[in-house]
Chain A
Amino acid sequence: MSIVKRPDIKSSWYVTSIVKGMALTFRNMIYNIFHKDEMPTVNYPEEKYEYGPRFKGSHILTVKKDGSIRCTACMLCATNCPADCISITAAEHDDPEVEKFPISYEIDTLRCVYCGFCEEACPVDAVRMGPEWQQPGLNGSSFVHDIQHLTRRPNLKGGYLSILDEEERHNSGI
């Protein structure tokens, strides 16, 4: 025969647990009133959450010191991209020493998964992941970014200069 014991009055009396819980809540409330800086909550439109400067976000096409675009239209990034979001059209350059250059270079940010494979694949350090975030937008705004946007959008403050020049780059083996 099994005996089921009735729960005694102590365990069914829940007021102590409520008092304990409320004590914790009020303690935290009072603490947060006097220590506002330590509060984890971010009030979004007024305060912005700061991300690290090494963050890898929107793409940047780097330019050489003379202002021309560094990309040589080798298509390695487009081949390596898992989402097929880079479309490059190569064109012949006037300068006989330069083989070709991209006449259009478009990245579809709706498809990009920000994996950074394009940056890794590029042999000439032409495409980089910049520190700023991708831009959300309403239906109908443009999400396909062209060369003009990738090299000289206002946030970049006039072109993202690749620090190394051709010769320095060869010497340092990049």
Chain B
Amino acid sequence: MVYPWIEQTGCCELVLKSLSSSVVNWEQVGVVRKAERPEEANLLIIGGWINPEQAQNLKEVYDRMLKEKLVIAVGSCALSAAAFANDENCVAAKEILPVHYFVPGCPPRWDDILKGISAISKIGMQNKTVRDILNDSGNDHVF
């Protein structure tokens, strides 16, 4: 049971946007709904390139999320800055945040992102109801 917050740029934006289209049924893998604010989210999906400004923004978003945080990095730029590795304007996600699941590809297909969501929601959220997650979160003002 995850509430994803999606940070998207570049070409991966197109793939991540297609997740909420009618072709993909992502409720099937445990997504309740997209979080409307970072405070409601327990899953951060990072897709596309990250520049230093955005890295700062991502850290802020990460801090604002619920207590139990999971991170998926999508696409080569977010995984390792790929072709821009020698450029200081592109940083890899694993340098700024602890990443739990890597989805390689440029851009990856949506199947793999769903695979990632179902895989890591099994680690963190085992046998937990929505109520448990919210009780654990410590964010009283949420919901």
Contact = CB atoms under 8 A, between A and B. Distances in A.
Q: Do A and B come from one complex?
A: yes
Interface of A: 40-45, 48-49, 51, 82-85, 108-115, 133-139, 143
A49 B112 CA distance: 11
The residue among B23, B85, B104, B116 with the most chain A CB atoms within 10 A of its own CB is: B104
Interface in B3-61: 22-26, 28-29
Given A111-B82, A134-B105, 12 more contacts: A41-B22, A43-B25, A45-B29, A45-B118, A51-B109, A108-B80, A112-B76, A113-B76, A114-B106, A136-B108, A138-B102, A143-B104
A135 B112 CA distance: 8
A25 to B, nearest CB: 13
A133 B112 contact: yes
Contacts of B108: 134, 136
A44 B85 contact: no
Contact of A42 (B23, B85, B100, B112): B23
Of residues A83, A85, A133, A143, which shows the largest number of chain B Cβ atoms within 10 Å of its Cβ?
A83
Contacts of B100: 138-139
B95 interface: no
A83 B118 CA distance: 30
B114 A112 contact: no
Contact of B23 (A40, A133, A138): A40
Given A40-B23, A43-B28, A44-B114, A109 B104 contact: yes
Contact of B119 (A41, A51, A108, A138): A138
Contacts of B22: 40-41
Contacts, number: 90
B105 A138 contact: no
A143 B102 contact: yes
Contacts of B111: 44, 48-49, 133
Interface residues of B, number: 33
A16 to B, nearest CB: 26
A110 B83 contact: no
A133 B109 contact: yes
Contacts of B65: none
Nearest to A57: B105
Contacts of A111: 76, 79-80, 82, 85
Nearest to B77: A113
Nearest to B21: A40
Interface in B76-115: 76, 79-80, 82-83, 85, 94, 98-106, 108-109, 111-112, 114-115
10 contacts: A41-B24, A44-B24, A110-B76, A110-B102, A134-B104, A134-B108, A136-B115, A137-B101, A138-B100, A138-B119
Contact of B101 (A42, A85, A133, A138): A138
A138 B120 contact: yes
